[in-house]
Structures are given as structure tokens and as C-alpha cells.
Amino acid sequence: MNRPWLAHYPPGVPHTVEPEQYRSLAALLEASLKKHAAQPVSVCMERWMSYGELDAHSAALGAWLQSLGLLPGARVAIMLPNVPQFLVTMVAILRAGYTVVNVNPLYTARELEHQLKDSGAEAIVILENFACTLEEVIDHTAIQHVVVASLGDLLGFWYGRWISFAVRHLAKMVPSYKLPLTGSRGARTVLSFRQALSEGQQRPMKPSQATLESTAFLQYTGGTTGLSKGAVLTHRNIIAAILQAEAWFNPALERLGDLRKTNAIAALPLYHIFALTLSLLNMRWGAHMTLIPNPRDIPQLVETLKKRPFHILPAVNTLFNALLQNPQFRQLDFSSLALSQAGGMAASEGTARQWLAVTGSAMVEGWGMSETCAIGTNNPVTNRNFSGTIGLPLPGIDIAIKDDAGQDVTMGLSGEICIRGPNVMTGYYNQPGETAQAFTPDGFMRTGDIGVMDDNGFTRIVDRKKDMILVSGFNVFPNELENVISLCPGVLECAAIGIADESQGEAVKVFVVRSDPTLREEDVARYCHDNLTGYKRPKHIEFRDELPKTNVGKILRRALRSAP
């Protein structure tokens, strides 16, 4: 196929990558752990962890997981924020030969139950702050082994214990819970993170037998049916994504010299594919990450940024914008900032211009999905001006603009953006029908985004084929919201759409037809609070006597979006 974008790659960026240089993602990680043992891998609340410590901790936890008798490829869930335990657990699961299932720590019981049941996860590592949610659903899942972490587990002996005490007893951020020791399949293991490490230290960890074709992650994404689906990401997929990002970012990072000294800010949640892939890239480099457990606390984030030079700042548009609104942020020294990577949602030209004026670093916009291991296209990191496009395909990736029949459209005309490359998922877990619909006969994955490619290979998104709502970089599917809200007492029917929102990109608006005329807006909001993660909750609720429909009764969301 014609690849006009290759002529516009920055100098030195290769056209392809070679994931075959590693036998698995575990092999890539182990090579880095050994090579950079003395280097720091993370800093969190001013407590450092080295690659050598990550090596020892992950080997211990991996050995403990293997002692449970889990079969190779078994699914192990992680329900942790950006704390050192996340890195230890993720690396341990991969080194032990299992599959990582990332879970949003803020999930409600309903959302958590679906993901655990769908993935078939047999073990979970969870922060104690969220254990009460697991307690509600654990008997309806295949979970037989639970590791409960405390916030201070890896923050040093005295400081860590103080942090855990303060979180539990002063801030009262750990709701009471009681995880049952017996389940539907017999005895259940429940122990602390420290206990798991201690027991694992007494055992050798057997090398992973995973290959490039083994599943490394089940990365859950929104489903058009209202239920999230697990994108099957292989070791090959993830390694390719790491190498692609590395090749693309290199022109911006050359001035840093030794990349082991790079400080990357991990403010985006590590369970999200964007931050996850970049964290693995940092580990390949031997760089370190500043872990931000609560990025919504902007003043505290700015205080953290003050402490030392930072070189890479990946963020969604809303986070860039929130930082710009903070007067103290504007006073920071930005001379070391080499890469401001925007993704997860559309970047706005106004925010990009202001960011460049304040920091001197250009916001570089990219595009991708869970199904593509994060970045599929990116603007050249050498750009100084905001392009308004999603950029060029990364090395080894093909982008095609196709019509509904799967045929390429004429250059310059709009169609569905379709992607093919070594980073693209193999399919949806246990969803053959969804997988078949996702791919064209020539191997391209349909993205649901409508775009136009210019003669130079730059693509611009002009619309969405799907009704997906994008809230601060997170996908929200109307069907899921409607399925949940329809169960609220007093609701006859409802419809959800996305509307423009200055702070979030888009916000959820729900139209409700009442069966109970006494139903109030706060009743619906309370029900949503109890059953939906924060970013999925409607910001606007409007009651109507009826909803616009087709002659066969299908709700016309397009009519709701165009209504004044």
C-alpha cells in the first residue's frame, strides 16, 4: 500500500521495529532489571525504589503466585493506584508467566464484578481502600487468592507504617471490610502484600514460559453492548508498542543524553493503556518515574514537580489545562522538559498555545486505543506548532481510511480510520463475534473514528462512527449508562449523549423519561453515584416526556445531540 507518511518522519526514525529481539515482555523487563539494578525506577512521596529492589520484590511476589498452582497464562487482576506496589505486581505477574488484568480502583461493585467474571481472574492484588468493593462481589467471581496492599507498604519501615496508619485512622479512607476465606470453589487465600512478599522470598521463581504470542494483558475497554470487553494484548503487541514509542520520541530526547537520568511524571493512572505503555518504555530505558497517587490534587502535584527536574510529562488535555490554571505551576523551571505528550482525548489548540507559551515545550498530540497498546499515530515530536491532526502512523503501523464496505476511500475523503500493525490486539477475550466485526478482511482494525488523511499522511478526526463519549481521556459508552440508569426506580427510559465540556472535553448528559412523576434529579444522580465510576456519571440530567425515536422504536441520540 501507499505510505505517504514515511517521507515525513523526523530524521533518524526507523520505518519499522523488531519485537522479535525479545522472546517475551518478561525477558525485556528482566534484562532491564539486571542492567539498571543500581538505578532508581520510581519515587513516590519522596521514597525511592531501585531496579534492584523491583527485581527482588517482583521475584518474591511472582514466586508466591506460582506457589498457588495457577496454570501458565492464568489471569491475575491489579486494583491499585500509582504506587510502587503497582509496578512490583505488574512485573511479578509477567515474570511468573501470567496475564495482567488491570482494574480501575474506583470501579463500583457492578463494574468490578463484570470485569472479574469476564476475565476469569483467579487472583487479585488490591489496595485496602477498595477491599470493601471486592467484598460485595467476590463470591460471584472466580477469585480464590487475594493480596491486600496498604498505601505505605513500600515506602520505608517507619514512614510507610505512619502513612498506612494515617490513611486508615486519621483520614479514615479505608472503609471496613471482611473478605471471606471460603468461596464457591473451596478455601480462599487472603493475606497482606507484605506477607505475600515474605512467603515468596522463601521460594525460587521459575522462569516464564511465555512467548511473543502469549497474552500479556487483558486491557478492558468500553463495549457497544453496554459491557466492557477485554482487548487481548500479546507480549509481541506490547513490545512493539514500546519500541514504536521509543523510536518516535528519540528526536525529542537526544539532548538529554543518558536516558537513565530521565524523570518521567506518572500522573495518569497506570491501569490506563497510555500510562501503562509509557511506564514500560521508561523501564526499558532504565529511567525513573515520579508516581503520583492522586493527580486530581493539582497543588500537591505542582509541589512534587518543584522537587527535581522533570523531562517527560504525558497527560490528557484536561490535566495540561488544570496545571496551567495553577499560579505556582507557572513559576516552575521548565528548562529540562523535553517532551509534553498529549493523548487519551483531543488536545485543544488554546491549551496547546498556552502550554507552549508557559513552558516552552510544545504539546505533541497523539491518538490510540486500548486495542492498539496506546499510541497508533503521533505528531512529530520536533513540531513546534499545534497541527490539529492526530499525526502520522508510528513505525510499522499502517493507517487506512475505509468506507463501510471495507474499501479504501479516495485520498482527502472521509471514512473510518482503520489501523494495522504489530501493536494491534489479536481480538476481544472470549468475544468471537465482536472480534470478527472489529477487523476488515485485509487485517485492519476498525476504530470507530471518522477521519480524513491528507497527501502527507497526516490524519484528522472529524467525527465518531460510534456513540462513544470521551470524558477526560476515558471511553464512556452510552449503552452501558442507559442499561444502568434504566434500573433506577422511577425511570421509564433514558438516553445518554456526550456534550462539549470545557474542562473534560466531553461530559455525559442523560435524558430521562419518568415512570414516577416524583423522581428528582438528585435521585438519579445518587443512583449513578452508587453504580457508576466517577467519570461515567452524568454531569447533566434532563427530564423529558418522551424521547425521539425511529419508526421501529430506536432512540435517536443524534436528534438529542442536535437539539437546542
- Amino acid 552: pLDDT: 47
Paired sense of beta strands 474-476 and 491-501, if any: unpaired
Beta strands in 439-533 (DSSP E): 445-453, 459-464, 469-471, 474-476, 491-501, 505-514
pLDDT digits (tens, 9 = 90+) for 79-100: 999 999 999 999 999 999 999 9
Which secondary structure element, helix H or strand E, spans residue 44, and what is its range?
strand 40-44
Q: Are residues 113 and 183 in the same domain?
A: yes
Q: Are residues 33 and 141 in the same domain?
A: yes
- The grid coordinates listed for 159 are 514512614
Q: Are residues 372 and 395 in the same domain?
A: yes
Dmax (CA) for the chain in angstroms is 68
For residues 389 and 8, the answer to whether their CB atoms sit within 8 Å is: no
- The grid coordinates listed for 372 are 492498539
Q: Are residues 186 and 244 in the same domain?
A: no
Report yes or no on 224 lying in a domain.
no
What is the mean predicted confidence (pLDDT) over 357-368?
95
Report yes or no on 367 lying in a domain.
yes
Boundary (domain end) residue, out of 445, 464, 483: 464
Boundary (domain end) residue, out of 166, 191, 207: 207
Boundary (domain end) residue, out of 448, 464, 480: 464
Domain containing residue 327: 234-409+417-464
Domain containing residue 60: CATH number:
3.40.50.980
pLDDT digits (tens, 9 = 90+) for 94-140: 999 999 999 999 899 999 999 999 999 999 999 999 999 999 999 99
Spatial strand order of the sheet with 339-342 comes to: 47-50, 40-44, 288-291, 263-266, 312-315, 339-342, 363-369, 374-378, 392-393
Q: Are residues 503 and 390 in the same domain?
A: no
Which secondary structure element, helix H or strand E, spans residue 239, and what is its range?
helix 235-253
- The grid coordinates listed for 168 are 486508615
pLDDT digits (tens, 9 = 90+) for 16-65: 999 999 999 999 999 999 999 999 999 999 999 999 999 999 999 999 99
Report yes or no on 78 lying in a domain.
yes
Q: Which of 424, 426, 407 is nearest to 415 (CA)?
A: 407
Report yes or no on 2 lying in a domain.
no
Q: Are residues 123 and 251 in the same domain?
A: no
Number of domain units in the chain: 3
Q: Are residues 347 and 457 in the same domain?
A: yes
Q: Are residues 189 and 256 in the same domain?
A: no
What is the C-alpha to C-alpha distance for residues 123 and 188, in angstroms, rounded to an integer?
A: 10
Model pTM? 0.87
Classify the phi-psi angles of 421: left when phi > 0, otherwise alpha if psi is within -120 to 50, otherwise beta: left
SS3 230: strand
Q: Are residues 201 and 56 in the same domain?
A: yes
> Alpha carbon 476 to chain centroid distance?
13
- The grid coordinates listed for 191 are 493475606
Q: Are residues 440 and 345 in the same domain?
A: yes
What is the C-alpha to C-alpha distance for residues 419 and 414, in angstroms, rounded to an integer?
A: 15
Report yes or no on 240 lying in a domain.
yes
- Determine the length of the chain: 564
Helices and strands (H and E) in the chain: how many: 16, 28
pLDDT exceeds cutoff 60 at 438: yes
For residues 365 and 377, the answer to whether their CB atoms sit within 8 Å is: no
Report yes or no on 100 lying in a domain.
yes
Domain containing residue 505: CATH number:
3.30.300.30
pLDDT exceeds cutoff 50 at 541: yes
What is the C-alpha to C-alpha distance for residues 494 and 340, in angstroms, rounded to an integer?
A: 40
Angle of helix 349-359 relative to helix 317-324, nearest 10 degrees? 50
Report yes or no on 223 lying in a domain.
no
- Amino acid 23: pLDDT: 97
* Backbone dihedral angles phi then psi of residue 439, each to the nearest 5 degrees: -120, 145
Q: Are residues 361 and 481 in the same domain?
A: no
Classify the phi-psi angles of 443: left when phi > 0, otherwise alpha if psi is within -120 to 50, otherwise beta: left
Q: Are residues 458 and 398 in the same domain?
A: yes
pLDDT exceeds cutoff 80 at 563: no
Q: Which amino acid does the sequence have at 434?
A: E
pLDDT digits (tens, 9 = 90+) for 468-511: 788 988 888 787 888 789 889 998 888 899 998 988 889 999 99
Report yes or no on 118 lying in a domain.
yes
Paired sense of beta strands 312-315 and 339-342, if any: parallel
Which range, of 177-191, 200-214, 319-333, 379-393, averages the lowest pLDDT? 177-191
CA distances from 499 to 474, 485, 540, 546, 557 (A): 14, 18, 9, 20, 12
What is the C-alpha to C-alpha distance for residues 534 and 532, in angstroms, rounded to an integer?
A: 6
